[in-house]
């Protein structure tokens, strides 16, 4: 499902950063180190261009893909014995109901105050995408982060390589400024994206969302306080968690167009079909 996208300052910053990194990498780093007219230069420029296109494509798709809406007709079936899990409110013990949206919330759904609606399997609201990260676009978001990390590391390698050549001759002031700005941009960006990628790999391995992780910390503390052992109810095992999010075909795990919307919910088929979630086999 596609969604409209209003103008966002943060989205503009991301697009400007991608554009700057691409042009500085291809027309400065590669040209200074290998030369765009040489075979190695043309090959590296082509590979980096392909990587940049994949970054932009996955970023655009993540922005315009609706993260997942709760059907207005959804009603929890508490009498179904095949459903082992019914999420309840923290206070009162009732089934989860959103007062703002005026309907019941399926398991793992949360209300986003910025989007002003409930989102299926909500992970977080990303200001850099001007969109929520949820059930329908989590894989696309993750693929974008993977492509971005590879692109930043690739650009840093080309920057360092071009410096080894450029240090033997006087550089123009404009090139020096480009090198300084690129270094100040790529190094912290690489560290931040690398940490972000590691964090979401951890979440995928355990079939958690960012919201569920923080809720699980409190649940674990309460369980230990009561002398019980807490376990995440949606953890299916590392491989099944990966296939639930990224799809059964390993070759398509980093392809955002290979749409496999997983959920990590091993519930009844009736519930899965109702909200459009595939059940992992």
Residue numbers annotated as active site: 126
Closest C-alpha to 280, from 234, 230, 233: 234
Joined together, the tokens standing for residue 10 give 């943060």
**Contact between residue 130 and residue 6 where contact means Cβ atoms under 8 Å apart:** yes
The H or E element spanning position 209 is: none
- Give the angle 262-144-232 at the CA atoms, nearest 5°: 40
Closest C-alpha to 49, from 22, 27, 71: 22
Q: Write out 10-59 in H/E/C secondary structure.
A: HHHHHHHHHHHHHHHHHHHHHHHHCCCCCHHHHHHHHHHHHHHHHHHHHH
């Amino acid at each position: 499902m596609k969604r409209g996208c209003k103008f966002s300052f943060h989205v503009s910053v991301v697009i400007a950063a991608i554009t700057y990194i691409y042009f500085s990498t291809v027309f400065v780093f590669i040209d200074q180190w290998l030369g765009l007219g040489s075979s190695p230069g043309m090959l590296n420029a082509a590979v980096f261009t392909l990587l940049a296109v994949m970054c932009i494509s996955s970023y655009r798709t993540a922005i315009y893909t609706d993260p997942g809406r709760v059907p207005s007709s959804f009603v929890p079936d508490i009498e179904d014995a095949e459903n082992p899990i019914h999420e309840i409110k923290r206070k009162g013990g009732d089934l989860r109901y959103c007062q703002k949206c005026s309907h019941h919330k399926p398991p793992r759904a949360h209300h986003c105050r910025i989007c002003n609606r409930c989102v299926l399997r909500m992970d977080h609201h990303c200001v850099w995408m001007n969109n929520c990260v949820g059930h329908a676009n989590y894989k696309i978001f993750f693929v974008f982060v993977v492509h971005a990390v590879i692109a930043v590391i690739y650009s840093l390698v080309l920057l360092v390589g071009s410096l080894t050549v450029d240090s033997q001759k006087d550089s123009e002031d404009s090139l020096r400024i480009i090198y300084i700005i690129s270094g100040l941009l790529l190094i912290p960006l690489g560290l931040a994206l690398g940490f972000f990628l590691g964090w979401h790999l951890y979440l995928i391995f355990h079939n958690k969302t960012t919201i569920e992780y923080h809720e699980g910390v409190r649940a674990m503390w309460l369980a230990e306080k009561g002398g019980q052992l807490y376990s995440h109810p949606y953890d299916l095992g590392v491989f099944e968690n990966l296939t639930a999010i990224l799809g059964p075909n390993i070759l398509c795990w980093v392809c955002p167009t290979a749409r496999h919307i997983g959920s990590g919910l091993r519930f009844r088929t009736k519930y899965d079909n109702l909200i459009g979630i595939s059940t992992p086999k």
